[in-house]
Structure formats: C-alpha cells, structure tokens
Structure 1
C-alpha cells in the first residue's frame, strides 16, 4: 500500500500512458533499439504491460510480454536479498569480515598508484586498515573493482591478466583470483562498482554447500513463482530470448552479450541471470510489500527498510569516485541505489525510491511513496543511459 494512503484515482493518466506507447514506438521506428517490454504497476493496478518492436533484430518475430532478457546486474538485488535472508536466519552477521567465511581473502593488500609526469604508472601495496565486511560487499565499499569498466589502472589491468573477467571462471576460481589481487581502495571508504556481488554469490555457495543456481531456485525463485528466472534458458524456451542488434545503430559499436542457451561455467551473482518483466515484477512486489508476496515471506519488513536505506551515510568520500553509478540525489543501500533528495537527480522521483539496472539496458525502480513499480527490459547496452532516463520521465508523467 502507498505510504501516505491518499493516492488519487485513477492511478494513471490515460493520455500520458498512450504517449508512452507513441514515444517508444517512435524510438523503434527510428531504429535505435529492436524492441523492449515495459511493465508499470501502481497501487496494485497494472497500467502498462506492453511489448514493443521485435524479439530479434531482423524484425521477423514480434516482441512478446513473456520475452526472456539477460538482466545482468539486476541479478545483484536478488543475491543481496538472499544474503539478508541468511542474516535473518542467524547464519551470518553483515558486520563480519568476509574472511570469516572465505579465509582465502584474509590479509589482502591495497594498491596505491602513482602517475608520473610522462603518464607512466607505478604501484605499491599497503596493508588494509580494516578487513572488508559483508556489509561492504552489499554496498560496494569493499575496495574491489571490475577490470572492464572505467578508466584503466594497474589494479584493473591485474584483474584482466588474472582471468577473473572470463566467462569461464567459476565461483571457486573467483575467490582464488581475488585472493591474489590487490584492492583498489581501503575497505569502507569508496563506492566502487565491482565484483562484490559476485563474491556474495560465492559466499552463498560456501555457506549453503549448494551451487548458486540451485540455492536461488529453492530459496527465492520457487517461493515467488519466478518460473522463467535463472542462469540459462532451457532449449524449449530459446524462441523467447530477446536479442540485440549486432552493431549498435547509434554508436556503431559491436554488441556482445552473454550466451544464455546452456548452463554457464560462471554462475555470476553480480550479473548472470535471465528473467522476464512479469517474473521480476514478483520480486519487486515482494520488496514493495515489505518482504512478502501472496503469503510467502522472504524477509521481514524491518530488513527491507534496512536494505533500502542509505548505507553510505557518514562516509564522506564514498561517492567521490569517477564512476559513482547511483548518481546525484542517490545513496546506496544493500543491493539498491536509494534516493536521498527530491532534487539533484536527473529524473523525477520520491525520497526513498530505490532501483538498479543491467548492462544490456534493463532497469527497474520501486517508489514506495507512490506505490509504483516499473520494469523496462531491452537488449541495447550502448543505449542504456538514455533509456533509463527517458522511460522514467515518461512513466512519472503518467501518474495521476
């Protein structure tokens, strides 16, 4: 239910909903993206559940509302929920050092890089001032990074050289690689998008004794009836996979997405899942409802409040990194960007709304004040920033 319990009816402006259709169709007609799905719900009423354009870039098959998309980092909120379920069960404390469960990661060192006048880089290693905690992993302040995003550094080069960026790494190999690599920042100081949630997936495997696919299926997907969500698509459902253009029509860059037609070597807790809009709506409804859906409770109301609060409070330098992806007006909770101000951001919203997105262009947000859920799925990574803003503007304009 909405926080203020006074939403006006109807929940949507019909003329503005029709405009959403026109704008998205014009984007497809212009050849920017092959197709997409958009699902918008407010106050328990679905205002939009639409498929646009084509499932495949050749235009031979129409997009469907049950199309299966690679959701990449929209995997992260699901894995974060799984970790907090363990915390509620008393099986871990998020204040604990990661090395308590993964002793291979004890005694890590931090890289301090120096750039000379000629542009050459040198690096020296210093001890961690404190160990990374599970909370650090959940909020991306563990000191880890990705080797494939952002400006090049010696640490990022070391990531790439280690093989950690390969799709053929496993969660066991992920731990082994990270044990040999320096951290990019002192734990607890800087928000840096990173392998942190992949490491949470490996942690789930270590604690549960199950592979991540089995664990998430039993603990989250089956209870929430998310039947089309997993790490790969079974052969009989391959015809539902949404595909991108081979070359992005705006940037002229090649588009290469993960192969989801068979079980991968790497069950990536940070970016490996596929899903549909209707499946992800069930996860989002559970979060909007304070941890419960249709009589199934995964988390307590207080834990959901905790996860969707800003966990960067008091960390003055946390958002100073060049690639602070939550952006202005947002802090970061435990798996979600969390809005801290009505202004400052690029798009409308409410204090307390929370969201995340995926590399290939998928995006969702939940606005408890407006009792709003929106899920946008496409496969166009080069266009992801534009459409996150465009779709959010259009949806907020439709609220009555």
Structure 2
C-alpha cells in the first residue's frame, strides 16, 4: 500500500483497537489507483480475520443498486420515469391520502396524482418512515413493511398487500419520505422485468461487471457477525447463519444486499466512469431530482446540503471537506458508507459490522483523514 493513505488506515485500526467495531474493510480509488484495507476479526472472541473480500450486509447501500437497475430499464425502454406505477403494481391504484400527517387512518382524501415510477425512484410517492408517534406510524410498525437492518420477512405479494392497506402520509410528489419506496420499487423492477429480482440483478449489474460476491445472501462461513451498540457494549444483531445466510422471502433493494468492498467500489467506479449506464440516465440518477418542497423531508434525515437522485443521495453544497457539489453516495444502517466525488476524482467505501445507533452516528473517522490525505 502507498504511504498516502496510511493515516486513513491507522484511523480505522484505532477504531477497531478501541473496540468500536470488531472489524472493518475499506477501499479507496483515487486518480485511477485503488487500494484496500482490512482490520480486525469477523466475530468477537473468534480468530477469523477480516479480509478485503469479506462479505457484509450493506443495508441501504443497496438503494443505489436499485437506482442503477431502474436506470438501465429506463435506458432500454422497459420503464419510463412518468409511467404510472400501477401498470405493474395494481396495489397502488387509487391511493388515499391522510387529511393531515397525524390524522386517524380513516380520515383520507383521494390522491391528486397517480404514483409514478419517478415517485418511487425519488422516494416522493408519499409513504415512508414516520418519526412521530401517529396512527400511521403505529400502523406501519404493526404491518411489518418497514424494518431495520433485516428486510421484511414477507413474500412480495403479501408485502404489497400490506402496503395497499395503508393510506399515504402525503400526496404523491409532495415530500421526500425515507425507505418504503425503495422496497416497493424492488417489487416493481421484478414485475417489469418479468423475472426474479436476483436474476435481473445478475443480468444488469453483477454479471456485466463481474461482481461475484454481491447478492441477496451469502455463505454463512464467510459472513461476519453483525452487531449493534447496546447498554453493555456490542450486542448481536444478526449471526453469520442468520437472516442473510439463505434465500430471502423478499428480495429487497431497499436494504437486502450482501456485498464486498471490492465489488461495491467496482460498481461505483463503473457508474462514475460511464461504463454502466448511458450518460443521460447516469446524470439523472446521480443528479438532484428534488424540488425545494420535497427536499424538506430529505433534510430532516440527512441535514442541509444534501438532496436525492434516483435512489442515491447527492451533494448540493459540499460543506464537508470530502464532499463537493455533484458528489453522491449514501450510508447503510448496518454500518456501511460510500461516496463518489467526481471533482476530486475519488471513490471511498467503508464497511463495518457495527450498526449505526442513530442520526448522531457518522463515518467522519474515515472521511476526515481521507480528505486530509487527498489534500496533502
């Protein structure tokens, strides 16, 4: 490894040695040169070391893959952004919308617009994570459609049936709402492609790019244990033989992929280099697709200076030293992060097995030394 990123790798070693996470893997591509780093163990108390090709549950870093698949379908005419989603998802026909966000579930009006493919791509279709204690929030929790690090244990048809029983919180196109649209989009892509989602993933992304370790499940002998922070330290979130060790009932591109740092960096590199998608669709996917009104919902989750493209966050002001307008990336709740900065010609990917504990958690311990190394 070159000396340029030694301070970055040392920062990751320090996080592992202090017990913040059992292990982590990172990759950086800068001006055409790629380096990888691994530190720590796959499971606390066991000797198996992290390797650069260790598979991780990447959670919401699955979303940009959904955006790329949709963009490829738009490029070949399978989909169009303004197609009504109910062409493939009849469960979304004639949606009802709450009269106000905290209204009783039966206090609704008819939607003023059809839900479109674009709404699902941009997470503006009107239903998603609700952070207040409202009747809709409780109904979403009871329905099982909005889960955390582990995707819904529902068949796609049952998932859509439960979605259809819920009113929208906002009118379609009115406001950005997190996550649910990504799982709905996953069902739409499979139905539009007339094939299981894993087959579409292989045909459009992993096969052409040679990504052998990106799928909806992985060998339990290779998976690290996933942890989450608890009162007494790290607690097991998902064991190696847990939810991601077998074919899932629901193939979720909202948060259901397993991948390796080299695979994911190769995916982002192909996207950035223009070898994965035609320029028109690539620019749409990685550009700001939200109106000011829609962006209010995004800023509630990600803060100012960030907007949303097609299933990926995009930077609008570059207030952090490693970001710049035109950059894009996202994070995953299981402890993963990735960012592409075209103006500085770098891609960074970090996978850990420590789930994020809340909005206060970040990956600055990786990005800050990386920005310093690039500026040196």
Same fold (TM over 0.5): yes
What secondary structure is seen at the aligned counterpart in 2 of 1:390? helix
Once the two structures are superposed, the pairs formed by residues 104-183 of structure 1 within 5 Å of their partners are 104-113=91-100, 122-123=104-105, 124-146=107-129, 150-165=131-146, 167-183=152-168
Q: Which residue of 2 aligns with 1:3?
A: none
CA distance in structure 2 between the partners assigned to 1:255 and 1:128 by the alignment: 42
What secondary structure is seen at the aligned counterpart in 2 of 1:382? coil
> Are the counterparts in 2 of residues 145 and 156 from structure 1 also a CA contact under 8 Å?
no
CA distance in structure 2 between the partners assigned to 1:191 and 1:305 by the alignment: 20
> Are the counterparts in 2 of residues 251 and 382 from structure 1 also a CA contact under 8 Å?
no
Structure 1 unmatched ranges of 5 or more: 1-11, 116-120, 293-297
CA distance in structure 2 between the partners assigned to 1:324 and 1:215 by the alignment: 33
Change (3 A) 1:261 1:141: same
Please report the TM-score for the alignment, with normalisation by the length of structure 2.
0.91
Once the two structures are superposed, the pairs formed by residues 202-241 of structure 1 within 5 Å of their partners are 202-233=187-218, 237-241=219-223
Q: Which residue of 2 aligns with 1:91?
A: 78
CA distance in structure 2 between the partners assigned to 1:107 and 1:190 by the alignment: 19
Q: Which residue of 2 aligns with 1:37?
A: 25
Deviation, 1:271, is 0.8
Please report the TM-score for the alignment, with normalisation by the length of structure 1.
0.85
> Are the counterparts in 1 of residues 146 and 180 from structure 2 also a CA contact under 8 Å?
no
Q: Which residue of 2 aligns with 1:308?
A: 286
Q: Which residue of 2 aligns with 1:6?
A: none
Change (3 A) 1:180 1:253: farther
> Are the counterparts in 2 of residues 13 and 398 from structure 1 also a CA contact under 8 Å?
no
Deviation, 1:96, is 1.7
Q: Which residue of 1 aligns with 2:177?
A: 192
Deviation, 1:107, is 0.7
Q: CA-atom RMSD, angstroms?
A: 2.2
Question: Are residues 1:353 and 2:327 paired?
Answer: yes
Aligned length, in residue pairs: 366
Q: Which residue of 1 aligns with 2:260?
A: 276
CA distance in structure 1 between the partners assigned to 2:232 and 2:269 by the alignment: 35
> Are the counterparts in 2 of residues 34 and 59 from structure 1 also a CA contact under 8 Å?
no
Change (3 A) 1:174 1:309: same
Deviation, 1:238, is 2.6
Deviation, 1:114, is 6.9
> Are the counterparts in 1 of residues 101 and 170 from structure 2 also a CA contact under 8 Å?
no
Question: Are residues 1:82 and 2:69 paired?
Answer: yes
Which of 69, 93, 106 is equivalent to 2:56? 69
Change (3 A) 1:272 1:190: same
> Are the counterparts in 2 of residues 94 and 133 from structure 1 also a CA contact under 8 Å?
yes
Which of 207, 216, 224 is equivalent to 1:242? 224
Deviation, 1:129, is 1.7
